[in-house]
Amino acid sequence: MKSTLNVSRIDIASRGCHYVPMDDMEVYRQLGRNVARVRGKLGKTQAEIAAQIGLTRASLANIETGRQKVLMHHVFRLANALECPSVLDLIPETFVFADDEAPITTHGSQLSDQQHAAVQRFVQIAGKR
């Protein structure tokens, strides 16, 4: 039986970018630019991708311009719709958290200790990429 992890938002407290200082929204702007770039290479419209992932075209436009925060499950849906092998193809390529000791808090569904550890590992691995 598949287990479902439903996390609506991940907050990474007091973490900065090692290479370029990033505010919270810069991560979303970079994600959006990557989504727009890949979508353009595929020759698909915002409306086509939005329909595939269950969002409006306006929401996808806001994501592509970095004006809208993205739920984790939408990042996975975007990666699938854009034929990316991994969600890591959409997030910023290089950033390292300045403070690996800062806690990661989640909002939405309750996570078990094992699930929280998996989310923390994901964030740390993505940050070292």
Q: What percent of the chain has pLDDT over 90?
A: 46
Class of domain 23-91: mainly alpha
Other beta carbons within 10 Å of 52: 15
pTM of structure = 0.58
Contact 9, 71 (CB under 8 A): yes
Q: Where are the beta strands (DSSP E) in the chain?
A: 7-12, 104-108
Ordered mean pLDDT values, 10 residues apiece, the chain (129 residues): 41 41 75 96 97 96 95 95 94 58 67 79 67
Smallest CA-to-CA distance from 75 within 49, 99, 96 is with 49
Domain boundaries, the chain: 1-20+95-129, 23-91
Backbone phi, then psi, for 9, in 5-degree steps? -160, 145
